Amino acid sequence: MTEDPRPETLDLEATLRDPAKDSAQELRLWLRMLSCTNRVSNEIRSRLRAEFGVTLPRFDLLAQLDRERDGLRLGELSRRLMVTNGNVTGLVGRLVAEGLIRRDTDADRRAAVVRLTPLGKSTFRKMALAHDAWLREVLSDLDKTTLAALMDGLAQIKRSVAQHATRQTQEAGEGGGRKGARSMRRTAALRARD
């Protein structure tokens, strides 16, 4: 991928005035992870829209349903996608109208369960194959050793964050949740600009 000057692909590391001097290595690592995630997500988002006319949130919702043969309740979908129930309800309504998913009442008749329709399954499979090929393409400059090392390093980060997030949550007596993550991203971005 070439450098993309669009604001949505701004390299967050570039917002640091003097990265070597002004920032802790942990902040630079976090900004690099965010930058990489943003760049890959933006590329995949662009390709999904161009080739299939679908948004990344719609693709993500279909992917969750593809993993669950018996479907999912809307609350569980919301939790997995890390968005509000209102966002999921809107996405579900549009996907139902397009015939890609169906909404049923679960056995105890208290909640709606959504499932892929046959059209949704075949449509998602085409998108998933393209998605996998695009990821292989954008990461094709990394050899297997580098990929394995990155996976190991990211697993260590994930464990460390989980351990400390749990400890912090217990000490504070509340959940960090999505608001906490957004607040941390804003704080890092502000720090990087200062």
pLDDT value of residue 17:
57
Residue 186 in this model has a pLDDT that exceeds 80: no
**Which residues, other chains included, contact 50 with Cβ-Cβ below 8 Å and sequence gap of 6+?**
none
Q: Please check whether residues 44 and 65 belong to one and the same domain.
A: no
Q: Which of 131, 116, 119 is nearest to 52 (CA)?
A: 131
pLDDT value of residue 72:
94
pTM across the whole model: 0.71
Residue 124 in this model has a pLDDT that exceeds 90: yes
Q: Please check whether residues 34 and 71 belong to one and the same domain.
A: no
Query: pLDDT (tens digit, 9 = 90+) per residue, 84-98?
Result: 888 899 999 999 999
For residue 143, CA distances in Å to 31, 40, 51, 140, 148 come to 23, 17, 28, 7, 9
For residue 100, CA distances in Å to 70, 132, 137, 152, 191 come to 15, 20, 28, 37, 43
Of 96, 114, 138, which closes a domain?
A: 138
Q: Which residue has the higher pLDDT, 6 or 157?
A: 157
Residue 40 in this model has a pLDDT that exceeds 80: yes
Q: Please check whether residues 126 and 79 belong to one and the same domain.
A: yes
Tell me the percentage of the chain whose pLDDT exceeds 90. Answer: 57
Domain that holds residue 111: 54-138
Q: Please check whether residues 87 and 41 belong to one and the same domain.
A: no
The CATH number linked to 82 is: 1.10.10.10
What does the block give as tokens for 128? Answer: 């998933």
Q: Please check whether residues 152 and 110 belong to one and the same domain.
A: no
Residue 194 in this model has a pLDDT that exceeds 70: no
pLDDT value of residue 176:
46
Q: Please check whether residues 134 and 152 belong to one and the same domain.
A: no
- Measured CA to CA, the distance from residue 2 to residue 55 in angstroms comes to 22
Of 138, 162, 186, which closes a domain?
A: 138
Mean pLDDT of the chain: 82
Q: How many domains does the chain divide into?
A: 2
Residue 4 in this model has a pLDDT that exceeds 80: no
Q: Please check whether residues 187 and 146 belong to one and the same domain.
A: yes
Residue 139 in this model has a pLDDT that exceeds 50: yes
pLDDT value of residue 25:
85
Q: Please check whether residues 107 and 153 belong to one and the same domain.
A: no
- Measured CA to CA, the distance from residue 4 to residue 88 in angstroms comes to 30
pLDDT value of residue 45:
96
Question: Are 194 and 186 a contacting pair, CB within 8 Å?
Answer: no
